[in-house]
Amino acid sequence: MAISSEEMQHLHQRRTSSYEVRLRTLFDTIQDLIWLKSPDGVYMACNQTFERLFGATEAAIVGKTDYDFVDRELADFFREQDRLVSATGGPRVNEEWMTFVDGGNRIFVEIIKTPMIDASGELIGVLSVARDITERKRAEAQLQLAAGVFDHAREGIIITDAQGTIVDINEAFTRITGYSREDAVGQNPRLRRSGRQTKAFYEAMWNALTVQGHWSGEIWNRRKNGEVYAELLTISSVRDAQGKTQQYVALFSDISAIKKHQIQLEHIAHFDALTNLPNRLLLADRLQQAMAQAHRRGQQVAVAYLDLDGFKNVNDHHGHDVGDQLLINLATAMKETLREGDTLARLGGDEFVAVLIDRDGIESCLPMLTRLLDAAAAPVLLGEVVLHCSASLGVTFYPQANDIEADQLLRQADQAMYQAKLAGKNRYAVFDAESDHSVRGHYASLERIRQALAADEFVLYYQPKVNMRTREFIGVEALIRWAHPQQGLLAPAHFLPLIENHKLSIDVGEWVIRQALQQLADWQRVGTLIPVSVNIGAMQLQQADFFERLQAALKRFSTFQPYSLQLEILETSALEDLEQVTHFIKQCGELGVGFALDDFGTGYSSLTYLKQLPISTVKIDQSFVRDMLLDRDNRSILDGILWIMRQLNRSVVAEGVETLEHGRALMDLGCETAQGCGIACPMPVDELPAWLRRWQVDADWIEVSLVPRTAV
């Protein structure tokens, strides 16, 4: 079928018009900005994207130049650009910010300008295509920033793929670990493992990474040179939109310096600075562990409490530096006698505790205890001087029939140590749980007694002394009591023995004197004068400045009346340094302070000494008084003592008068002054007036007093 020329033309027209339409559609659909200018800078066409961003229609733009839209300077610049393109004849690519007047859009564009040349080679215009690359630029800048952080971070950074293979590390990684990029990339971070963490540790770490997507903690890793160091490490998993892990990023810092400092601090907290032995805190820990282990293994733990004998002497005579050096030497020597697993701790001063594990009764410990004592008793050569100490040791065992705590064990061992001291020092004593039963619970530590003193828990009770014949009230003996907040009122037997050889006994003794003087002053204020006798411990009496201290105490009470204070001392403590004590007694006598010899008959009872001591009063020990009713022999001994006292011109006070019977029997022997529960038990000060009223009318004692005086 032939097509007419008319039809042909129509077809051509349609094709052409639809071709142009398509071209125009294409032109407008392109997301790039396209515009066309004539060689002399007049806009010839632009697409819709340009219109949109420019904020004007094509019709409003075409026929105008840049001078119509932007300031002169910029228009000159555009003009120059176009000219350059025209001159070189080839396309030019530029990147620049484009700011549109309308809407204030500011976008970063990449512009390609191409000269348009027609078939005859004539320049007919400049075509510009600009692409918005703002987003890409922004992303690049961010990447650059990240890369900067990555490179300059002080923290080491590792990036691994999802399988854990290292894909990148930063400079800090190399600085900290010593591994270069070549060493690390392609490896697994495992290469840094120190072997110090358990399998369970890594399992927990991976578990946290999988569940929470991150993990953070301290970890020991190894540097390339083999050195193990501590790291603070944070690992995060980088996941895609579906939650699938793409990468792991680990950030770590070297905290070995902090760790080292921390370890030092811990050492200071747990070790004694002088001897470097575990201190009380660490001992408590080790003892707990040893006790738990003994349970598991069915073995025993032995706890040995050591106190050096004569250490104070070394300090006093050679100074603290020598004393310290001696402690260091002895600590080392004693420690060497122990086995691995055993602990030797220093509690402070000259007190040590050894915890011996895997024991089986005292026999299994004996060789070791003996070695410990030998080590403490070995002479130590320090410079020119040879020093000699020894130790008293108390030992106790765990487990016991009753449940027992660690601190009770220590107290038991301490108590046994005290027994060893009493028995003559440089020996050991085993704690006897049986005999302890009655005192358990009342037993108190030195420290607790010190606290009691500070917290004012001690009180003085007063026991009257009377003349049974005249029924005269002649004074009181002050007796210390401990008003223990939990255990109630404790008699001195429960705490004084503990501090007997300790400086603390002096503090307690001085408190008693002050308290008694205060009481005297209080009575004085209300016009009463009741002489008080106070017991003086051995150590207190042996202080070189005992007299000066007493004098100072008296000075603080201006109302002090001579002869209202008497000091009771024991034969044993008086005899330790007879000359010195005699001197004190004389000095005190000048201040109006009298002395009595307490518990007479229980010590050496050497009458020669007694004769020498310028003491006015002797107190007959209660054991004589108690026993004299039992048989005639005791009675004759007492009779003899009383006779001698009269010859020596000493007054006598009988202690422990528990009944009227005692009173009568004593009176028969010519002893009239007495003290005891039969008359009055020790009492708080405010009960004294009521007792005195009763005493004055007590019919029974009135009857006793009526017994005719025996010829003496």
Our CB check for ligand C2E shows the closer of 142 and 518 to be 518
491 binds, among ligand C2E, Mg ion, none (CB under 5 to 8 A by kind): ligand C2E
Amino acid at 333: A
Residue nearer to ligand C2E on the CB measure, 115 or 537:
537
- Of the candidates 496, 490, 500, 619, the one whose C-alpha atom is nearest the C-alpha of residue 567 is 619
Q: Binders of Mg ion among 647-686, rule CB under 5 A?
A: 655
Among 47, 177, 315, 535, binds Mg ion (CB under 5 A): 535
Closer of 349 and 603 to Mg ion (Cβ):
603
How far apart are the C-alpha atoms of 85 and 109, rounded to whole Å?
17
Provide, rounded to whole angstroms, the least separation between the CB of residue 619 and ligand C2E.
7
Residue 511's H or E segment, with its range, is: helix 504-525
Look at residue 384 and give its three-state secondary structure: coil
Contact (Cβ atoms closer than 8 angstroms) between residue 346 and residue 352? yes
Closest CB to ligand C2E among 392 and 535?
535
Site for ligand C2E, rule CB under 6 A? 463, 479-480, 491-493, 496, 509, 512, 535-537, 568, 598-599, 622, 655-658, 676-678, 682
Nearer to ligand C2E, 125 or 537 (CB): 537
- The amino acid that residue 664 corresponds to is R
CB atoms under 10 Å from CB of 643, counted, come to 13
Q: If 0-12 CB within 10 Å is exposed, 13-18 middle and 19+ buried, where does residue 280 land?
A: middle
303 binds, among Mg ion, ligand C2E, none (CB under 5 to 8 A by kind): none
HEC string of 200-257 equals: HHHHHHHHHHHHCCEEEEEEEEECCCCCEEEEEEEEEEEECCCCCEEEEEEEEEECHH
Binding partner at 492 among Mg ion, ligand C2E, none, C-beta below 5 to 8 Å by kind: ligand C2E
682 contacts which partner out of ligand C2E, Mg ion, none, CB within 5 to 8 A by kind? ligand C2E
Region of residue 195 (phi > 0: left; psi between -120 and 50: alpha; otherwise: beta) = left
> Does 568 interact with Mg ion (rule: CB under 5 A)?
yes
Query: How far apart are the C-alpha atoms of 398 and 356, rounded to whole Å?
Result: 10
**Which residue's CB is nearer to ligand C2E, number 140 or number 700?**
700
Choose which of 132, 272, 350, 598 interacts with Mg ion (CB under 5 A): 598
211 binds, among ligand C2E, Mg ion, none (CB under 5 to 8 A by kind): none
Q: Which is nearer to ligand C2E, 305 or 546 (CB)?
A: 546
> What does DSSP say about strands 43-46 and 33-37: parallel, antiparallel, or unpaired?
antiparallel
Complex with ligand C2E: residue 407 or 522, whichever CB lies closer: 522
Task: Choose, by CB under 5 A, the member of 599, 642, 663, 672 that binds Mg ion.
Answer: 599
For residue 51, state whether it binds Mg ion (rule: CB under 5 A).
no
The helix (run of H) or strand (run of E) holding residue 128 is: strand 123-132
Find, among 424, 442, 422, 417, the residue nearest to 303 by Cα: 417
* Non-local CB neighbours of 158 within 8 Å, separated by 6+ positions: 166, 168, 169, 173, 184, 189, 248, 249, 250, 252
Min dist CB 626 to ligand C2E, Å, is 7
User: What is the closest distance, in whole angstroms, from the C-beta atom of residue 328 to ligand C2E in the complex?
Assistant: 35
Cβ 684 to Mg ion, closest distance in Å? 18
- Residue 566 interacting partner from ligand C2E, Mg ion, none (CB closer than 5 to 8 Å by kind): none
Residue 538 Cβ vs ligand C2E, minimum distance, rounded to whole Å = 8
Least distance between ligand C2E and beta carbon 526 (Å): 24
Give the binding site for Mg ion (CB under 5 A).
535, 568, 598-599, 655
